[in-house]
Structure 1
Amino acid sequence: MMNQMSKTLFFLILFVFYSTFIKASETFSLSEEDDSKILSLPGQPSNPPISQFSGYITVNQNNGRALFYWFFEALSEPSTKPLLLWLNGGPGCSSVGYGAVVELGPLKVNENGGGLLFNNFSWITEANLLFVESPVGVGFSYTNTSSDLTKLDDEFVAEDAYSFLVNWLQKYPRFKNRDFFLAGESYAGHYVPQLAELIFDRNKDQTKYKKIKIKGFLVGNPETDNYYDSKGLLDYAWSHSVISDEQYNKTKDVCDFKTLEWSNECVNAMNLVYGKYHEIDFYNIYAPICLVNNTSSSQAYYANMVVNYGLKRARVYSGGYDPCYSNHAKTYFNRADVQASLHANANRGNSSNSVKWDVCNDSILNIYNVTVPTVLPVYKKLIQGGLKIWIYSGDADGRVPVIGTRYCVESLGLPIKTPWRSWYHQHQVGGRLVEYEGLTLVTVRGAGHLVPLNKPSEALALIHSFLTGEDLPAER
């Protein structure tokens, strides 16, 4: 039998050994990440200090296909806060150009594209943030096999995103057992639940797949169901005085939104509806448009309108406090010194020169094959699976309006847990919410398609509530 002194000495030695082992493991993990560490970006403010990483994760070795990421550790307690992956939609738009430097990342591009500003409302206070440019062909993400770009559809993108996540967690093993959440907006209303479903299904077979500790997802102004989204778009345009009674009634008469391919009469009628948005911003109907070079985000959209709209999705340009923000991001990310700091040229197949970067890749919008017209069955499945699911909606968005989102949610037939009510932010109504059994719908008053851009403080309150479980205030 050990005496008391021997026991104490034994446990002390054990503690020192364990501490040394853990420290060595952490050092090893960090050394593995050294190649992706960003020391500083051109024009980055020195305070607060931000721990950030970027680079490529190969998702298909044979084809030379890799996705670009930009990762920020939480400002405080990064070792305990959850990991949140953010995706933008389009299809074909960059989560770096939108989510990271326009909406919820810690650094924003200034008005001339010459530097960066700290975002006081970044979600970095709530989580470790991971931005991924997906699918391949978006932003800095690339493939050495051109035929890959002809295969882009919902299943292909979900598989690549899953492969990215598995390989990213191999590179950053300290996050393997961290609570994990997915988030995104617009066409990420398809990307996010489909990736969540893939993770959910593969977690059931841990002999074949690595477990990912997914806890839930939230999506903003999400494309969800072709019928309800299209019906909502038309109803919103009429109810917000964008189109006349006559145009509304005629369009309802000739359009059957339940069909995958619209009739010529419906296409023509809906193009007239879209045309009424030409003078304003489709994505934030009360915001100013960008007047640089006599063009605007809305005009850019109409210059590339798909004649037979059908299941094609509009490019996601939106207005906000600075309606020309996408121009600034394009200027910044096409600088050679910025790309070098971001490791955006490293291991990039057959090219070592500067990469041409754009906020959205129009060619992807035109060739992307929408193979899943509705993700409502995915919602039903994942609600049954116990994932935490929130949908939020800026109520000034004409492209994926709150009306269509309400149609989608109501079609699920879920029992109501907490009736429709206002929630408050800084003594004002921030929006409304209704809590169903398994799903929460939150509106954000006065926000457009990009809620964290238009209402950054409210968006931060929303993600805090989602991640912590603290209720959004019910009183002024």
Structure 2
Amino acid sequence: MAAANYFESKCFLFFLLASLVVDGIVAAAAVPKQQRLDRISSLPGQPPVAFSQFSGYVTVDETHGRALFYWLIEATSVAEKKPLVLWLNGGPGCSSVAYGASEEIGPFRINKTGSSLYLNKYSWNTEANILFLESPSGVGFSYTNTSSDLKDSGDNRTAQDALIFLIRWMSRFPAYKHREFYIAGESYAGHYVPQLAKKIHYYNKAHSNPIINLRGFMVGNAVTDNYYDSIGTVTYWWSHSMISDKTYKSIMKDCNFTEEKSSARCDDAVSYAINHEFGDIDQYSIYTPSCLALTNGSRQHMRVKNALLHRRVSGYDPCTENYAERYYNRPDVQKAMHANTTGIPYKWTACSDVLIKNWKDSENSMLPIYKELIAAGQRIWVFSGDTDSVVPVTATRFSLGHLNLHIKTPWYPWYSGNQVGGWTEVYEGLTFATVRGAGHEVPLYQPRRAFIIFRSFLKGEKLPKSKRISLQLSFN
């Protein structure tokens, strides 16, 4: 009898182990091969973390050989139950890996030598799975095998390629199909984000069981409407004592912001303001130091209407972009991230001058898209750091003001801990918030305040009206 029991126990154990092995094989087989190949085991110089990371390429156009590079950083806990957020940086032509992931909302920061990483206390992946996309092709590690693509990029193709990317990416990561999905970004992504949201909205309407469960989007210091942005920008310069009364009047008199091409007199007036009256400041954060390590040759640019404004990298450490370029050009980093697998014939840079100088199509206004997506029930938040002079808070307010939305909750101060984090107003279909003391890259300058905005956005809750509520929100 004892022998029989022993035999039965051994058989039970054998079948249990066999079942576990088979289940493991089935589970592994259920994960697409490319997803397994895209898993990052660890990045060079990375501190220990409990969350998973993936990165690699998704081809969006086989004929031209366009492929977009992504970096997925899953949530720190219960990732399978948390939403997916796509983050896009603007430029046009700047990298979401350089800015969003490495300076703003990602879990890692890069040290000065580019030799190691350290943790960001206010990383957004504590609340969601974050997908960083280098878009369009030619930005960062994203590439095209058709060189002419680099000289005729524009809004429409960027949005279409991003939609194709998402559809194909979700086939590689089927667990994210139908997952609650949001898009976020800043700067010229004020075009990318709503344009992609519109593409997804139309894609979903055309399919009975769409895989992209778009719930809304949020943008910061966003390029929104050429006319109102331009007036608001010049108004900011004057109201913040960056330009003289004389120059302000000259710009307002000589610049017709409704025209696609600016006049010589307008260009001269704007150039005089920038080159003779601004002084040696960081235009993206007017009250913080510039990076002294940058020379004129290493400045980047951003499109605002028809002028190109010189960008000097900003932040508490104004040279962080330099550290990113050191780190992501390392062969061991590229190998760990499955990047530059085709041997791109140029160095990885935070922004592509070629794309910026050759941008072809750019919609004049995002306001019609806002109206359409508000009517479709999408959750839309717009936030603005109030020390940015390139896409300033006045520009955003002028633009949004012409949506003529009904006010649900009038203007009030919102709190971050014991301090006013900024001011906000809730409209029918849209929430607007300022971030006190933040420059163009809000999460870089005010990471805690940006985090509170992000968490409130995901929860669909108003920003905290009191110190007590804010403290609860921050530490729950």
Question: Given the two structures, how large is their TM-score scaled by the length of structure 1?
Answer: 0.90
CA contact (8 A) 1:339 1:354 kept: no
CA contact (8 A) 1:223 1:229 kept: yes
Query: Which digits, 9 at most, give the CA deviation of each residue in 1:62-86, with x for residues without a partner?
Result: 2111000011010011001000000
CA contact (8 A) 2:313 2:320 kept: no
CA contact (8 A) 1:396 1:448 kept: yes
Match of residue 349 from structure 2: 358
Change (3 A) 1:70 1:355: farther
Change (3 A) 1:68 1:437: same
Give the one of 364, 384, 389 matched to 2:380.
389
Q: Which amino acid aligns with 1:28?
A: A
In structure 2, what is the Cα distance between the partners aligned to 1:172 and 1:305? 34
Match of residue 37 from structure 1: 39
In structure 1, what is the Cα distance between the partners aligned to 2:60 and 2:307? 26
Change (3 A) 1:251 1:311: closer
Shift of 1:26: 6.9
Q: Which amino acid aligns with 1:233?
A: T
Q: 5+ unaligned residues in a row in structure 1: which ranges?
A: 1-16
Q: Which amino acid aligns with 1:175?
A: Y
CA contact (8 A) 1:423 1:431 kept: yes
Match of residue 325 from structure 1: 320
User: Does 1:374 find its partner at 2:338?
Assistant: no
Shift of 1:150: 2.6
What count of residue pairs does the alignment treat as equivalent?
A: 446
Shift of 1:149: 1.8
- For residue 292 of structure 1, give the secondary structure of its aligned residue in structure 2: coil
Shift of 1:260: 1.6
- For residue 203 of structure 1, give the secondary structure of its aligned residue in structure 2: helix
Shift of 1:273: 2.1
CA contact (8 A) 2:283 2:311 kept: no
Query: Which digits, 9 at most, give the CA deviation of each residue in 1:66-124, with x for residues without a partner?
Result: 00001101001100100000000000100000000110001111122111111111000
Taking only the aligned residue pairs, the percentage that are identical comes to: 48
Q: How does 1:26-425 map to 2 (within 5 A)?
A: 28-29=30-31, 31-46=33-48, 48-206=49-207, 210-275=210-275, 276-292=277-293, 295=295, 300-301=299-300, 310-311=305-306, 314=309, 317-346=312-341, 348=342, 351=343, 356-425=347-416
CA contact (8 A) 1:290 1:319 kept: yes
CA contact (8 A) 1:52 1:72 kept: yes
User: Does 1:463 find its partner at 2:454?
Assistant: yes
CA contact (8 A) 1:140 1:344 kept: yes
Q: Which amino acid aligns with 1:426?
A: G
CA RMSD in angstroms, aligned pairs only: 2.1
CA contact (8 A) 1:284 1:448 kept: yes
CA contact (8 A) 2:184 2:193 kept: yes
In structure 2, what is the Cα distance between the partners aligned to 1:317 and 1:186? 15
Shift of 1:424: 0.5
CA contact (8 A) 2:74 2:125 kept: yes
Match of residue 12 from structure 1: none
In structure 2, what is the Cα distance between the partners aligned to 1:32 and 1:280? 46
Shift of 1:267: 1.0
Shift of 1:265: 0.6
Shift of 1:32: 4.5
Shift of 1:219: 0.2
Shift of 1:257: 1.0
Query: Which digits, 9 at most, give the CA deviation of each residue in 1:307-337, with x for residues without a partner?
Result: xx75355465541110001110000011111
In structure 2, what is the Cα distance between the partners aligned to 1:312 and 1:136? 24
In structure 2, what is the Cα distance between the partners aligned to 1:155 and 1:219? 19
In structure 1, what is the Cα distance between the partners aligned to 2:284 and 2:349? 19
Query: Which digits, 9 at most, give the CA deviation of each residue in 1:180-222, with x for residues without a partner?
Result: 0000000000000000000001111116x94410000000000
CA contact (8 A) 1:394 1:449 kept: yes
- For residue 31 of structure 2, give the secondary structure of its aligned residue in structure 1: helix
In structure 1, what is the Cα distance between the partners aligned to 2:383 and 2:115? 33
CA contact (8 A) 2:177 2:212 kept: yes
CA contact (8 A) 2:67 2:142 kept: yes
Q: Which amino acid aligns with 2:373?
A: L
Shift of 1:370: 3.5
CA contact (8 A) 2:282 2:311 kept: no
Shift of 1:471: 2.6
In structure 1, what is the Cα distance between the partners aligned to 2:364 and 2:206? 28
CA contact (8 A) 1:140 1:355 kept: no
Query: Which digits, 9 at most, give the CA deviation of each residue in 1:414-445, with x for residues without a partner?
Result: 00000011000111000000001000100000
CA contact (8 A) 2:243 2:278 kept: no
In structure 1, what is the Cα distance between the partners aligned to 2:311 and 2:95? 10
Q: Which amino acid aligns with 1:460?
A: F
Q: Which amino acid aligns with 2:264?
A: N
Change (3 A) 1:296 1:320: farther
Question: Given the two structures, how large is their TM-score scaled by the length of structure 2?
Answer: 0.90
In structure 1, what is the Cα distance between the partners aligned to 2:24 and 2:394? 52
Change (3 A) 1:216 1:317: farther
Change (3 A) 1:416 1:313: farther
In structure 2, what is the Cα distance between the partners aligned to 1:79 and 1:105? 19
Match of residue 6 from structure 1: none
CA contact (8 A) 2:92 2:302 kept: no
In structure 2, what is the Cα distance between the partners aligned to 1:256 and 1:289? 31
